[in-house]
Amino acid sequence: LSDCLACDNCMTSEEGARVFQQNQKELFRILNLNKKCDTSKHKVLAVSICPQSLPYFAAKFNLSVNDAAKRLCGFLKSLGVHYVFDTTIAADFSILESQREFVQRYQRRNQEEHALPMFASACPG
């Protein structure tokens, strides 16, 4: 769970706990704390944005998806967020690792009884 991005791609009860920890109230509490203390004591804030949400913002504000991403990133940074990540890259790494594991398992299918089938998930965390 330490790597969970609360991307809503899985159906676990642990995800609900993670989403609860990543709420607006907690975000603003930490932003306010960071404004009051020395920068050396700031809590680093990172926000992940799933690409599925960007077309909604783009349509709502009559922007291209790229402009919506830039503006949302700029807005979050103006609030005090240190890092804004697009979860696409994490999903890409997840797919690459799944492919690599499948090839290894496929090559071992005659030597290992349980090499296949292989189950995978879409978790970018």
Q: How far apart are CA 86 and CA 84, in angstroms?
A: 7
Question: Has residue 3 been placed in a domain?
Answer: no
Question: Has residue 120 been placed in a domain?
Answer: no
Is 43 in a helix, a strand, or coil? coil
Question: Has residue 113 been placed in a domain?
Answer: no
Domain enclosing residue 38, as ranges: 25-106
Question: Has residue 47 been placed in a domain?
Answer: yes
Q: Global pTM?
A: 0.60
Percent of the residues in the chain that have a pLDDT greater than 90, as a whole number = 20
Over the stretch 49-106, which tens digit does the pLDDT of each residue have? 888 788 888 999 999 999 999 999 999 999 989 999 888 877 788 888 889 988 998 8
Question: Has residue 45 been placed in a domain?
Answer: yes
Name the domain count of the chain.
1
